[in-house]
Structures are given as C-alpha cells and as structure tokens.
C-alpha cells in the first residue's frame, strides 16, 4: 500500500479498445474540486485491466457529466492494487465540504 498526501483525487475509467477491458486513472491534486479549476493534476496513476475500485472511509462526489468520482478534503489516501482490484483508504477531514 502506498500513501499519498494530496488534498483531492479524481477517479476515472479508461477503456482499452484493443483488449475490450477497462483500466482506472487516479489523478491526485493539491486543491479541492479540481474539476472546477482546469488545473493539471500533480500526479496521475494508471492501472490497466482493473475489475473494480473499492473505496473506504470517505465522502465522495459523483460527476454525472463525465462518470468520474471526486474525493475532497483529504489528509492522505492509501492506494493498493491487488488481483485486478484497487483499494483506496481515505484519511479525510472530519467534516468534508460537499
């Protein structure tokens, strides 16, 4: 498990047209609501051929326009990949802004 100290993340899916599978992209930001700012992420993690993403201990925003998940007000996030699954464990401020 790797610990990242960022303020927010955006989780997206990425289709691999060649293999007809999906991967996951996790973009890490130092600001809340990065989808509103247009700023590039500090870091992007790419995971090809992922079955699902499991998220623990956090409040999440679902963006209907792009099918993305936004997690704000993070102190840190632990990310681990095992057997084509991604596990995110959030350490979030006690009263996240929604």
pLDDT at 98 over 60: no
26 contacts 43 by C-beta, under 8 angstroms: no
CA distance 5 to 25: 17
pLDDT at 94 over 80: no
pLDDT at 60 over 70: yes
Q: What is the dihedral of CA 59, 52, 44, 17, to 10 degrees?
A: -140
Segment 11-59, tens digit of pLDDT: 999 888 788 889 999 999 999 999 888 899 999 999 999 999 999 999 9
pLDDT at 97: 57
Segment 67-78, tens digit of pLDDT: 899 999 999 999
CA distance 18 to 20: 6
Q: In this predicted model, which residue has the larger pLDDT, 85 or 65? A: 85
63 bridge partner residues? 68
Mean pLDDT computed over 76-93:
95
């Amino acid at each position: 498990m790797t610990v990242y100290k960022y303020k927010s993340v955006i989780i997206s899916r990425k289709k691999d047209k060649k293999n007809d599978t999906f991967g996951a992209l996790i973009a890490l930001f130092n600001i809340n609501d990065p989808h509103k700012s247009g700023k590039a992420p500090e870091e992007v993690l790419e995971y090809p051929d992922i079955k699902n993403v499991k998220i623990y201990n956090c409040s999440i925003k679902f963006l209907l326009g792009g099918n993305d998940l936004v997690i704000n007000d993070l102190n840190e996030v632990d990310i681990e990949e095992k057997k084509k699954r991604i596990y995110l464990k959030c350490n979030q401020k006690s009263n996240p802004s929604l």
